[in-house]
Amino acid sequence: MKTKILLWHWGRRGGGPRYTLELARALSTNSEIEIALSLSLQCEIYNEFSGVGVSRFDVNTYDSFSSVMVQTAKLPFLRKDFWHFVEREKIDLIVCTMSHLWDVPILIGKKIHPPFLLVLHDAVPHPGDDILFRSLLLKNEVNKADAVVTLSTHVQQQLCQEYSFPKELTWVIPHGIFPYIKLASQRNDQIIKILFFGRILPYKGLDLLLDALFLLKDKELNLHVNIVGPGDIKKYTTQIEQLDFVSVDNRWIPEEEIAGIFSSVDVTILPYREASQSGVIATSFAVGVPVIVTPSGGLIEQVDNRVNGLIAKSITSEAIADSITEIVQNDILRNKCSRGAKYTAENDLSWTKIAQSFGEVFISILGK
């Protein structure tokens, strides 16, 4: 008899739905597993889940402030229906693929006991993203988990330290690549294009990057930097205006545009002060684009220095500037790292391999 796994994520956009979809697709190839799904009907890639999952419990979440209030008021009824679904479908294991604000209100009503496995992307909120209410919800969700998968050893260590979570009930499975198949072309003796991608938050070190670029301003490097993503960029405007080799696209990027953005650059840069791990790295590797990262948190677990990217010597503008200079000027190294990025994506970060690892976790939890 097949093991029935419920993959549960009610996020609407961003990496959570895509992570859920790719994991569901990969697990569906396992003849010993039957996948059920619980998704938000407002999920921006909802239609891509067509044909994945035998049983579904999909819900209306929200797409505006007014709908947040209306739908949140319905949570007691939604909780009841959710657990009826779990019981009716004889779910063996619930896997929350990424935390959502509504998870804890649903888990409060857990009256039957299939084990609950939480995929924890961040154990500790990032600086600038550490809203007390969300921190309390995350703590409650972790406390209700029977087991946890983290995406890096760094987060696993934080989980055990911050929550006193038993290490023997944790596993580390890296973030898989998202299937952006348009590979970047290798360009020599042209302007080297560098991408900073994602939400602009203090911990992501955009100020460190801009300070590094000022150090390089008079070195006449063949370089262009594109800053792409939503967030408050006003405090950086003065610096950016003084750097004529920097451009900005300050908006939420729809998923259908991401492949084109990454495949049009030579290098992706993550000048982070703090990090759990990064889906940006996996996305960059998927199109064969190497990365520059700071030696922060889980980033050093994702990057093999001088094989698929560069790890700066420190979390400083000077070290970031040195790494930029090297990868811009050294065509051989940059092209080697590009090949390494593609190899990492196709091997270490394949969803087939990740699904196999999850299958082993399921066996450990269920004893099957």
What is the distance between the alpha carbons of residues 309 and 288, in angstroms, rounded to a whole number? 11
Domains 3-175+351-366 and 192-346 are alike in CATH topology:
yes
Q: How do the domains of the chain map onto residue ranges?
A: 3-175+351-366, 192-346
What is the distance between the alpha carbons of residues 78 and 74, in angstroms, rounded to a whole number? 6
Q: Determine the pLDDT at residue 185.
A: 57
Q: Determine the pLDDT at residue 119.
A: 97
What is the distance between the alpha carbons of residues 34 and 80, in angstroms, rounded to a whole number? 23
pLDDT (tens, 9 = 90+) of the chain, 368 residues, equals 899 999 999 999 888 999 999 999 999 999 999 999 999 999 999 999 988 877 999 998 877 666 776 777 778 889 999 999 999 999 999 999 999 988 999 998 666 679 999 999 988 876 666 566 778 888 999 999 999 999 999 999 999 999 999 999 999 999 988 765 555 555 555 899 999 999 999 999 999 999 999 999 988 899 999 999 999 999 999 999 999 999 999 999 988 899 899 999 999 999 999 888 888 999 999 999 999 999 998 899 999 999 999 999 999 999 999 999 999 999 999 999 999 999 999 888 999 999 999 999 999 999 86
Q: Determine the pLDDT at residue 311.
A: 98
What is the distance between the alpha carbons of residues 253 and 14, in angstroms, rounded to a whole number? 9
Q: How far is CA 181 from CA 83, 184, 284, 345, 347, in A?
A: 38, 9, 11, 11, 15
Q: Encoding tokens for residue 44?
A: 């921006």
Q: Answer whether CATH 3.40.50.2000 is correct for domain 3-175+351-366.
A: yes
What CATH number labels 192-346?
3.40.50.2000
pTM confidence score: 0.84
Side-chain-side CA neighbours of 309 within 13 Å: the count stands at 33
Q: Determine the pLDDT at residue 138.
A: 87
Contacts with 330 (C-beta within 8 Å, 6 or more apart), sequence order: none
Q: Determine the pLDDT at residue 187.
A: 55
